[in-house]
């Protein structure tokens, strides 16, 4: 049996009043100030965890009684000894690895000093937090009827430690990605790197609000202290994963936009018939946050090492912990917001509400969207048949797109450069583009004339209507003529 401990802290008044109901009558500030002097304490014994490999683990939740406000406002030199004291309690209980919850891994140097002071490895859980944010975003997108491979995604804070890992991985799943931060040079370097390694079209922007306007999915993970996304910024049906602390998404978005889905990340189902956390932290039974799951996964795998510490997270770390999660039977089974699971019905209601809002949004666009309205619902696409959706969204559930017939473009510029360098012909080369334009222009002439027009494609002439035929060639004013280039 492997052993772990997870150190957490109260997030809100309810976390005190659950144990001491009398505190409901007392102002929260008073509660915070009184409890902050108390020593850490063991909250519960966690039992029943069993990997699909058969490995078993038990653990303990240990609480440092400081709220987010106190943790952020107290100098780190005063917070550190309290976390270390909790860590020593974990060591006495026999923990072989220790995880840090919520703001305990945000303050100071993100676990480095805590790990240095203890004899037991420490992990922040941030690799699986990033991995599950990505998985959660993709899962939430599917629930809202978005096809990831055709979607536009935006990552705010894309050049940061967590943002860059999210952007690198998300770019492998979507058609277009926009990277947002304030410093353009770092954005350009990341854009070049991602464009080289994925087929996605990669854009950059220093303006978060305009960068999310057309996005189907947004991962917000910037260190901005102000809110960056307001309710009017998002398109209907969008999914936003707000990983940032403080949050990048205004609370008004949850309240005013019932047609978008804002999540903090994924909720993880922990394996084992009889998993018992011994403590209600607002999640359904047998479910936990990703950072708790990372600690347990490392224990089950006997990887007693400081797996994630400090600010930097690498793609290979996220991929490895995601692989180990799968190996041991952990899975993203829902979404969370404000450290609470979002009820499944709420997700369904938001997907449903997005239908009407999306229809209005699409019909209000001057160009760039097409809608086919049928008896049982609608089919909508972008300008080039991208982001195809069936509405209502539940019609997307069992729908499989036909296999692609034509070569997909890696983006205008790269398509052109590839052809110039002797690679595959451009997706819309002259052999395709010229006849395509030819019949479209003939259609335009046909609109201007009654009756049937007969066209001789070899001579490129309309043979039964001289007036229509005259429109095939431009009339060039004297002095503006030019000689055709002979190929």
Ligand X SMILES: NC(=O)c1ccc[n+]([C@@H]2O[C@H](COP(=O)([O-])OP(=O)(O)OC[C@H]3O[C@@H](n4cnc5c(N)ncnc54)[C@H](OP(=O)(O)O)[C@@H]3O)[C@@H](O)[C@H]2O)c1
Q: Which two tokens stand for residue 297?
A: 């996964």
154 binds ligand X (CB under 6 A): no
| Site for ligand X contains 167 (CB under 6 A) | no
Query: Per rule CB under 6 A, is residue 341 in the interface with ligand X?
Result: no
Nearer to ligand X, 217 or 396 (CB): 217
Q: Whole-angstrom Cα distance, residue 107 to residue 458? A: 74
What are the start-end ranges of the H helices in 171-288? Answer: 184-197, 208-212, 251-256
Stretch that binds ligand X, among 23-31, 62-70, 87-95, 223-231 (CB under 6 A): 223-231
Name residues contacting ligand X, limited to 174-193 (CB under 6 A). Answer: 180-183, 186
Q: Which residue number, 72 or 446, has a Cβ lying nearer to ligand X?
A: 72
Q: Least separation, in Å, of the C-beta of 465 and ligand X? A: 59
174 contacts 152 by C-beta, under 8 angstroms: yes
Question: Footprint of ligand X on residues 285-324 (CB under 6 A)?
Answer: 311
Burial class (CB in 10 A: 0-12, 13-18, 19+), 108: middle
Which positions ≥6 away from 55 have C-beta within 8 Å?
2, 300, 301, 302, 328
| Concatenated DSSP letters of 105-143 | GTSTTTTHHHHHH-SS-EE--HHHHHHHHHHHHHHHHHH
- What is the distance between the alpha carbons of residues 190 and 86, in angstroms, rounded to a whole number? 39
Distance CA 334, CA 327 (A): 19
Question: Is 10 a binder of ligand X (CB under 6 A)?
Answer: no
* Interaction between residue 220 and ligand X (CB under 6 A): no
| Residue showing tokens 């975003």 | 137
Given 87, 111, 131, 163, the residue binding ligand X (CB under 6 A) = 163
Query: What part of residues 89-108 is at the interface with ligand X (CB under 6 A)?
Result: 106
**Which of the ranges 87-95, 145-153, 159-167, 389-397 carries the binding residues for ligand X, by CB under 6 A?**
159-167
Residue 290, judged by CB atoms within 10 A of its CB (0-12, 13-18, 19+), counts as: buried
Q: Which one among 49, 134, 221, 332 touches ligand X, defined by CB under 6 A? A: 221
Binding piece for ligand X, criterion CB under 6 A, among 12-20, 31-39, 238-246, 296-304: 238-246
By the rule CB under 6 A, 123 interacts with ligand X: no
Mark the segment that binds ligand X (CB under 6 A) among 151-159, 194-202, 334-342, 347-355: 151-159
CB of 183 to ligand X, least distance (A): 3
Q: Per the omega criterion (within 30 degrees of 0), is the bond before 300 cis?
A: no
Assess whether the previous peptide bond of 392 is cis (omega < 30° from 0).
yes
Q: By beta-carbon distance, which residue lies closest to ligand X?
A: 160
* Among the listed residues 120, 126, 317, 380, the single contact to ligand X using CB under 6 A: 126
Contact between 31 and ligand X per CB under 6 A? no
Number of residues that bind ligand X (CB under 6 A): 26
Q: Is 339 in the site for ligand X (CB under 6 A)?
A: no
Minimum CB separation from ligand X for residue 247, in Å? Answer: 8
- Binders of ligand X among residues 240 to 279 (CB under 6 A) are 243-245
Identify which of residues 86 and 156 has a Cβ nearer to ligand X in the complex. 156
Shortest distance, position 230 Cβ to ligand X, whole Å: 14
Closest separation between CB of residue 246 and ligand X, Å? 7
How near is the Cβ of 105 to ligand X at its closest, in Å? Answer: 6
Question: Coil, helix or strand for 449?
Answer: coil
The span of 167-175, 220-228, 328-336, 343-351 binding ligand X (CB under 6 A) equals 220-228
C-alpha R_g of the chain: 28
Give dist(CA 51, CA 291) in Å, integer: 17
* Among 256, 387, 283, residue whose Cα is nearest residue 340: 283
Q: Cα-Cα-Cα-Cα dihedral of 123, 128, 133, 135, to 10°?
A: 180
Contact 202, 195 (CB under 8 A): yes
Tell me which residues in 196-215 interact with ligand X (CB under 6 A): 208
Shortest CB 245 distance to ligand X, Å: 4
Q: Give the H/E segment covering residue 317.
A: helix 315-328
* Cα–Cα distance for residue pair 82/76, rounded to 1 Å: 10
Minimum CB separation of residue 228 from ligand X in Å reads 6
Interface positions with ligand X (CB under 6 A)? 106, 126, 129, 156-163, 180-183, 186, 208, 221-224, 228, 243-245, 311
């Amino acid at each position: 049996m492997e052993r772990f401990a997870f150190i957490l802290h109260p997030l809100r008044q309810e976390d005190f009043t659950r144990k001491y109901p009398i505190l409901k009558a007392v102002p929260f500030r008073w509660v915070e100030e009184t409890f902050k002097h108390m020593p850490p304490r063991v909250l519960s014994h966690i039992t029943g965890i069993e990997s699909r490999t058969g490995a078993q683990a038990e653990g303990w939740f240990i609480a440092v009684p400081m709220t987010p406000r106190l943790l952020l406002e107290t100098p780190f030199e005063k917070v550190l000894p309290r976390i270390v004291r909790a860590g020593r309690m974990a060591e006495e209980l026999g923990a072989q690895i220790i995880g840090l919850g919520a703001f305990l891994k945000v303050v100071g140097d993100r676990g480095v000093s805590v790990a240095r002071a203890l004899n037991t490895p420490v992990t922040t859980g941030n690799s699986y937090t990033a991995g599950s944010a990505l998985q959660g975003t993709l899962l939430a997108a599917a629930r809202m009827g978005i096809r990831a491979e055709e979607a536009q995604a935006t990552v705010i804070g894309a050049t940061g430690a967590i943002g860059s890992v999210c952007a690198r991985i998300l770019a492998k799943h979507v058609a277009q990605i926009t990277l947002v931060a304030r410093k353009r040079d770092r954005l350009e370097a990341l854009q070049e790197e991602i464009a080289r390694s994925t087929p996605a079209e990669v854009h950059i922007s220093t303006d978060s609000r305009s960068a999310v306007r057309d996005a189907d999915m947004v991962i917000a993970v910037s260190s901005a202290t102000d809110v960056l996304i307001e309710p009017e910024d998002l398109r209907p049906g969008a999914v936003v994963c707000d990983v940032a602390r403080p949050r990048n998404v205004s609370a008004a978005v949850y309240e005013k936009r019932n047609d978008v889905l804002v999540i903090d990340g994924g909720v993880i189902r922990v394996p084992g018939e009889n998993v018992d956390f011994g403590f209600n932290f607002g999640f359904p039974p047998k479910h936990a946050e990703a950072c708790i799951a990372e600690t347990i996964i490392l224990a089950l795998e006997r990887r007693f090492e400081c797996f994630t510490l400090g600010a930097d997270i690498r793609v290979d770390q996220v991929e490895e912990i995601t692989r180990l999660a799968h190996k041991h039977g952990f899975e993203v089974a829902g979404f969370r917001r404000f450290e609470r699971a979002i009820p499944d019905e709420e997700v369904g209601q938001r997907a449903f509400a997005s239908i009407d809002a999306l229809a209005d949004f699409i019909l209000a666009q001057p160009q760039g969207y097409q809608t086919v309205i049928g008896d049982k619902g609608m089919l909508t696409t972008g300008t080039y048949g991208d982001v195809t959706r069936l509405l209502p969204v539940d019609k997307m559930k069992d729908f499989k797109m036909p296999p692609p017939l034509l070569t997909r473009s890696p983006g205008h510029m790269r398509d052109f450069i590839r052809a110039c360098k002797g690679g595959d012909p451009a997706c819309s080369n002259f052999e395709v583009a010229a006849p395509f334009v030819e019949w479209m222009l003939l259609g335009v002439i046909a609109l201007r004339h009654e009756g049937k027009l007969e066209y001789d494609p070899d001579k490129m002439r309309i043979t039964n209507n001289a007036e229509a035929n005259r429109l095939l060639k431009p009339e060039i004013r004297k002095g503006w003529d030019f000689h055709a280039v002979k190929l």
